[in-house]
Chains A and B, each alone.
Chain A
């Protein structure tokens, strides 16, 4: 059984629309992360949460908003989508928040037309 679930696996959106990427982990981890991977930037950190609190934010744009409704959930809301947002978005989690032992989910591949 997959321990980190990301939904949907594939997502196509039109420019200017809004989408929510879902992530749930069943590893019992306390920290969760979002990373983005595209042809331009292989693996890029976006956000980290520990015990549902935002710890670090490396995204320059407020169009990207993480949402944590439960300790094992960290969704990513993206508004006013642009073609440049096209990428695979990976959710990850670790036991503690020290960055160690981060395990990645299967990813959501987003295409913005």
Chain B
């Protein structure tokens, strides 16, 4: 199976600065890497994803990098705002079968201080 490690588990940054979260995976066959944001009492919401045929993807202040050789991917939030405070989860999926599961990292609790 797949295992995904996520660091750090807790991250505190000042408003306007950048925040970076790193994940590593074990299965070299993994080919899809989404990121989810979860606010207290809410469901996880897909914020950005990247496939293995890309090394970088950017959208609305979010950057995802993928290093397949190192089996590592990361989320970078630029110009953080208090509204970015939440739990963030990375995940990996790689089975080329229908109904492929997502294996999640342990989560990062991000706090953006005003």
Contacts and interface: CB of A to CB of B under 8 A. Distances in A.
A100 B49 contact: yes
Contacts of B32: 98-100
A25 interface: no
The binding surface of chain B is classed by DSSP as loop
The size class of the interface chain A forms with chain B is: 20 to 34
A100 B98 contact: no
Contacts of B98: 31, 50-51, 55, 96-98
Interface in B58-114: 89, 91, 93-107
B43 A33 contact: no
A111 to B, nearest CB: 15
Interface in B8-59: 32, 34, 36, 42-46, 49, 51
Nearest to A102: B102
A58 B103 CA distance: 11
Interface in A23-65: 31, 33, 35, 42-45, 48-51, 54-56, 58
Given A43-B104, A45-B103, A49-B99, 13 more contacts: A33-B99, A33-B102, A43-B102, A55-B99, A90-B44, A97-B99, A98-B93, A98-B100, A99-B32, A100-B93, A101-B46, A104-B36, A106-B43
Interface of A: 31, 33, 35, 42-45, 48-51, 54-56, 58, 90, 96-107
